[in-house]
Amino acid sequence: MRLQVIQDSKGKATGVYIPIKEWENLKKQYKDLEVLEFEEPTKEQLLLELKEAVTQLKLVEQGKLKARPAKELLDEL
């Protein structure tokens, strides 16, 4: 396997690059790896999530929904 270590400006390892052909072989061998892949959300998904966020924000402003602490929100990301 030909892995490439990705380093920051100080030389500290921050990630690993796996060639796509080898990644595909790993996914065939270890089926659970597929859940690790990130799928880009569609425009429709993004718009739906934004609409939901605006709706929730309006409910918070009206006092009908309790806001969450910012730290909790950031931890979720």
How high is the pLDDT of residue 61? 93
Distance separating alpha carbons of residues 6 and 9, to the nearest angstrom:
10
**Stated pTM of the model:** 0.46
Q: What is the largest CA-CA distance in the chain?
A: 57
How high is the pLDDT of residue 63? 93
* CA 10 centroid distance within chain: 25
How high is the pLDDT of residue 76? 80
Task: Give the model confidence (pLDDT) of 3-30 as tens digits.
Answer: 899 999 999 999 999 999 999 999 999 9
How high is the pLDDT of residue 70? 85
Task: Give the model confidence (pLDDT) of 49-66 as tens digits.
Answer: 999 999 999 999 999 999
Indicate the domain borders of the chain.
1-37, 40-77
Q: Report the amino acid identity of residue 4.
A: Q
Tokens standing for residue 11: 């030389």
